[in-house]
Amino acid sequence: MKKSESHFVNIRGLRYHVRSWGSPHAPRIFLLHGWMDVSASFQFLVDAFSREWHVIAPDWRGFGLTEWAREGYWFPDYYADLEALLDCYHPGEPVRLVGHSMGGVIASVYAGLRPQRVERLVSLEGLGLARHTPDQAPLRYAQWLDQLKDAPGFRPYRSFDAVAARLRKNNPRLTGERAAFLARHWAKQLDAEEIALTSDPRHKTFNPYLFRVEEAIACWRRITAPALLVSGKLSEMPARMKDTPEQLAERKDAFRDRREVELPDAGHMMHHDQPQRLARLIEEFFDGTPVPSKN
């Protein structure tokens, strides 16, 4: 495995953990993880890169080794956190962004908010959540108020092997070796008999903010960078979004300069299932080499 280094920086009042691989003098890539994941999740992808990159991957607020936010979690904070991270690690220059799932939403919306800051964008199933309608708001707010009175928690594990087993249950394509590696970053030892997840359990709380796909699409339409949209053929995400073919096309069509690739034998966690194929796609895209396109 390629060796990573940990850095801790102050980002908007929080002690942020940032993992990096490679020489600071190499071309730079930012890897942005998804919900309930951590930066170390990209280890297999980084190992599969064929050329030297300076890879920078933060643990988002409330995930991994980054400090938890006392006031809770609001999606716009991630856009501001990303901008602060870019200003810290790559000030004033366009960047290459790769985002998975939630990280893909953050990267792509940010690319529309700050088009001049993004040189190339890779979104790994980062097209957002299921659509919501205004009439869903009252129940959502009520659920949020109820959960504020009863803080959520994660069940403890007896061992890291149990955590690895849970990861493999979630993703049967995950090898035992990779699951064992991830378990050591996904969880931490509290005492001799208890292992706990590193993420803040408040991420399980209903967010009163409804995902508004119309707002995301409006942001994506402002993107000027070429975009690579990658999906896993075995992924459950299309079913979770509950889009009609026309609605899914509307999301994708918002990316004016895009290429689409579907990875075979890969689910939503494609960077675990097919890191070699994904690494090749990303490097070809960043180098300007044509990749298969559906648009």
pLDDT tens-digit readout, 251-274: 999 999 999 999 999 999 999 999
Mean pLDDT over all residues of the chain?
94
Per-residue pLDDT reduced to its tens digit, 54-110: 999 999 999 999 999 998 899 999 999 999 999 999 999 999 999 999 999 999 999
CA atoms within 13 A on the CB side of 127: 27
Which of 178-187, 215-224, 281-290 is predicted least confidently? 281-290
- Determine contact, residues 163/195, Cβ cutoff 8 Å: yes
Q: Give first-to-last CA distance, the chain, whole Å.
A: 36
**Residues 156, 242: Cα–Cα separation, whole Å:** 33
Q: What are phi and psi of 169, to 5 degrees?
A: -65, -40
Per-residue pLDDT reduced to its tens digit, 209-223: 889 999 999 999 999
> Would the pLDDT of 293 be above 60?
no
Instruction: Average the pLDDT over 149-168 and give the result.
Output: 92
Instruction: Average the pLDDT over 184-197 and give the result.
Output: 90
Give CA 205 to chain center in angstroms.
19
pLDDT band at residue 292 under the 50/70/90 scheme = low
pLDDT band at residue 294 under the 50/70/90 scheme = low
Adjacent-strand bridge partners of 7: 18
- How big, in percent rounded to 5, are the helix, strand and coil portions of the chain? 40, 20, 40
Structure token pair of residue 5: 């280094």
- Determine contact, residues 101/124, Cβ cutoff 8 Å: yes
Per-residue pLDDT reduced to its tens digit, 1-36: 999 999 999 999 999 999 999 999 999 999 999 999
Residue 163 is which amino acid? V
Residue 109 is which amino acid? V
**Residues 230, 215: Cα–Cα separation, whole Å:** 21
> Domain 1-131+212-295: which CATH class?
alpha beta
